[in-house]
Amino acid sequence: MIIVDSHLDLAWNALNWNRDLTTPIEEIRRTEVGMEDRRRGANTVCFPEMRRGDVAICLATVLARCTKANQELLDWRSQEIASAMGHGQRNYYRIMEERGQMRMLRNPNDIQNHLDAWRKGSRDAIGYILSMEGAEPILSPDDAVRWWEKGLRVVGLTHYGTGLYGEGTSGTDGLTPKGFELLKAFEQLGVIVDVTHLTDKGFWQVMESFHGRVLASHNNCRSLVPGQRQFADEQIKALIARDAVIGGVLDSWMLWPDYVRGETDNNQIKLRMVTDHMDHICQLAGNARHIAIGSDLDGGFGREQSPSDLETIADLQRIPAMLKGKGYAESDIEGVMHGNWVRFFTQAWSATAR
């Protein structure tokens, strides 16, 4: 079944972790044998595995922060440096397009034409929607226009810690004045706002002040796994009311309560757990229109912090059987795997065009 995955840090893996995503997974792992970082040699994503797993479309991120966390390979000393790094990641996708590995999708026709070609067997190029995780690479509201012209369609204002546009996961405060200014520019352009990684305060500020389309590229449910990184039921209901879609994420600590990195036995974490979060959202919504896949695989972790029964991204193809076991109809399962994201972007971009 065709898959749309709403969160993959492909360029960050390529440029910051020096991974050649055009090569087989075994080759990437071999090049990292012996590295001290336990996340190395354990990656789950590459273009061949995406094709094998029928991942036809993804939201491919730009991730270059300028926050007070000063985390290596994520944070840069100035916004100008972060912007340059962001454009470098964007250029990686452009080069992959020139090599026939990827295809940028900017409008409903792009999506439909790509899916038609994919179904007919033309699978050399993986379709991608350009997104940004943490908005620091956007230097100003005027710069947002330039990013839009280069294909950027989805932006999350924050990531972790205190950024220029607001506080993200692990913080408590909301948006900065610059964050509100950027939201106005997004609304005028038609940029979709990703509410993933906002603090609770920031989440409600976005929902109240931004009147464009919103989505959650990779989030699970706080009622199942407590913590600020997950959505509370009232947040999920607010997203449902805005006709948003929420991508279920596969990072182990978001699937298991009280998970401690490096200590919790990861063998306890199974792929089926993400379907529990999906099902919870469906119960709140009364339908299956608001759930999808936003795996975040290789988002700063590998197999050591992914479901233990997942070897590569191709194993996402096991989710349909799990949903069927929960009683979901075939049409609903197709929605989860790709249809909900296709509908969401088709409607959002059609409205922007009007």
Sequence length of the chain is 354
- What pLDDT, on the 0 to 100 scale, is given for residue 353? 72
Q: Say what the pLDDT of residue 354 is.
A: 67
Burial group, residue 61, by CB count within 10 angstroms (0-12, 13-18, 19+):
buried
Give dist(CA 232, CA 224) in Å, integer.
10
Phi/psi of residue 335, nearest 5 degrees: -60, -45
Closest CA to 220 of 228, 209, 208, 212: 228
- Residues whose CB is less than 8 angstroms from the CB of residue 321 and which lie 6 or more positions away in sequence, other chains included: none
Q: Is the dihedral of CA 348, 274, 272, 54 positive or negative?
A: positive
pLDDT (0 to 100) of residue 38: 85
d(CA 135, CA 166): 9
HEC profile of the chain: CCEEEEEECHHHHHHHCCCCCCCCHHHHHHHCCCCCCCCCCCCCCCHHHHHHCCEEEEEEEECCECCCCCCCCCECCCHHHHHHHHHHHHHHHHHHHHCCCEEECCCHHHHHHHHHHHHCCCCCCEEEEEEEECCCCCCCHHHHHHHHHCCEEEEECCCECECCCEEEECCCCCECHHHHHHHHHHHHHCCEEECCCECHHHHHHHHHHCCCCEEECCCCECCCCCCCCCECHHHHHHHHHCCCCEEECCCHHHCCCCCCCCCCCHHHCCCHHHHHHHHHHHHHHCCCCCEEECCCCCCCCCHHHCCCCCCCHHHHHHHHHHHHHCCCCHHHHHHHHHHHHHHHHHHHHHHHHC
| β-pair partners for 55 | 3
Residues of the chain with confidence (pLDDT) below 70: 354
pLDDT one-digit tens code per residue, 169-217 = 999 999 999 999 999 999 999 999 999 999 999 999 999 999 999 999 9
CATH domain 3-353 topology: TIM Barrel (3.20.20)
For the chain, the domains span 3-353
- Among 189, 105, 104, which residue's Cα sits nearest to residue 144? 189
* Residues 258, 226: Cα–Cα separation, whole Å: 8
How far is it, in rounded angstroms, from Cα 3 to Cα 56? 6
Cβ(126)–Cβ(101) below 8 Å: yes
* Burial degree of 30 (CB within 10 A; 0-12, 13-18, 19+): exposed
pLDDT for 181: 98
pLDDT of residue 351: 84
